[in-house]
Amino acid sequence: MTRSLSDTNCCLVSQPDAGPGARRAAERSEPQALALKLWTVLARAYASVLAHSQADIARHGLTPGEFAVLEVLYHKGPLLLRDIQRKILVSSGGITFLVDSLEKRGLVERRECKEDRRARYAALTPEGERFIAGVFEEHATAIERAVSGLDVDDRRVAIDLLKRLGHHAASLPRPGEGETG
Amino acid sequence: MTRSLSDTNCCLVSQPDAGPGARRAAERSEPQALALKLWTVLARAYASVLAHSQADIARHGLTPGEFAVLEVLYHKGPLLLRDIQRKILVSSGGITFLVDSLEKRGLVERRECKEDRRARYAALTPEGERFIAGVFEEHATAIERAVSGLDVDDRRVAIDLLKRLGHHAASLPRPGEGETG
DNA sequence: GATAAAACCCTCAGTACTGAGATATTGTTC
DNA sequence: GAACAATATCTCAGTACTGAGGGTTTTATC
């Protein structure tokens, strides 16, 4: 495996059941305590499901980044590199690197963009299409198993809550953005 | 910033509103479609809140790993390296690396463990304690702001759902674990 | 009490990226 | 239509780790 659970090692703790944290928690307002708790369980739930996702991806010799590129091309068809970059949230160097390595493996090819000669498309090759089709179906099964702790009604409620949580956080400027000091 | 949103670039897409994905989604069972959707919005919500968390952490010149170590020591008191390692989910080399660098900065110190001479404690120095106290209070505010898309009742529901989701996923063997081929 | 197995930490080569800067092309303003 | 800003990709040095292997100490079994 290429990357581990430490992808998520950020603010996973703060469960003040013992130690100095127990005293500090008592001084915290309830909304803030719930906010910290929510972030903790969100990170832990994400880490637990991610472990399943990555274990499945690693079985096929893919890094998470490579899988993400193949998956987005599989679902959306040929895309400009910058659109892939924004969808899977990698750096500019990262998308070049990922498409390079998938191109070397014959799963993806670059195509020119006639409307904008700065830009390039990435598209699945027939071999890449066949490959990701199989990998993705197995992956869907692995994910369904990983989230089987919630039944379909719970899943619907969770989807609604997480959507609102995510959209709102994404719409807020991040700490340190656009400040002077 | 040291690590980016690509920490989460795994299965972020699969929103089959357009492209080849739209047709494939129609063939998928509803529970599985909900499972994939849940994983997608979980990953996106996590990424969005993480961006706030990391931006705040980076302002203080800390990596996510360093912050995680300071935070766990702040909340739990002195801990054996292996206990920190398990709580923040880093590799064995990673915890040595992180404690090394925090020790060089004078924020953490190693202490001997008399009951088990293989093991070592890590503990905050007085300077480290002062430092993380300030950083953590700011951090709590940043997190509360990041999750402000949900009110306190929603937070309670989300916490319950995510706990169940996470615990169940963590209890399941991961794909490829303990197989023969 | 000797032997083997396990647990803890450290070392270090390897890795999947990041992000600042370079190059090429496109849009915009005067 | 020239100058300038903006955008898309690529380059490459740097990084925060990973994970296999090794030394030391502890635990379990005979």
How distant is C1' of D17 from CA of B132, in Å?
22
The mean pLDDT of chain B is 88
A106 touches chain B (CB under 8 A): no
Q: Are A16 and B75 in contact (CB under 8 A)?
A: yes
For A139-149, the pLDDT digits (tens) are 999 999 999 99
For residues B47 and A109, what is the distance between their CA atoms, to the nearest angstrom?
29
Q: Are A109 and A125 in contact (CB under 8 A)?
A: yes
Domain residues of chain A, as ranges? 1-59, 63-146
Report the residue count for chain B: 181
Q: Are A53 and A144 in contact (CB under 8 A)?
A: no
For residues A154 and B40, what is the distance between their CA atoms, to the nearest angstrom?
15
Tokens found for residue B10? 């795994």
> Can you tell me which residue has the tokens 């619907």?
A156
Q: pLDDT confidence of A178, banded at 50, 70, 90?
A: low
Please determine, for residue A12, whether its predicted confidence score (pLDDT) is greater than 90: no
Residue A47 burial (CB count, 10 A): 21
Find out if CATH 1.10.287.990 is the number for domain A63-146.
Answer: no
How distant is C1' of D10 from CA of A101, in Å?
14
Query: For residue B120, what is the enclosing H or E element?
Result: strand B120-124
Q: pLDDT at position A180, please?
A: 42
Q: Which of residues 148-177 of A touch B (CB under 8 A)?
A: 148-150, 152, 154-159, 161-170, 172, 174-177
The architecture that CATH gives domain B62-161 is Orthogonal Bundle (1.10)
Percent of chain A at pLDDT > 90 equals 77
Please determine, for residue A7, whether its predicted confidence score (pLDDT) is greater than 60: no
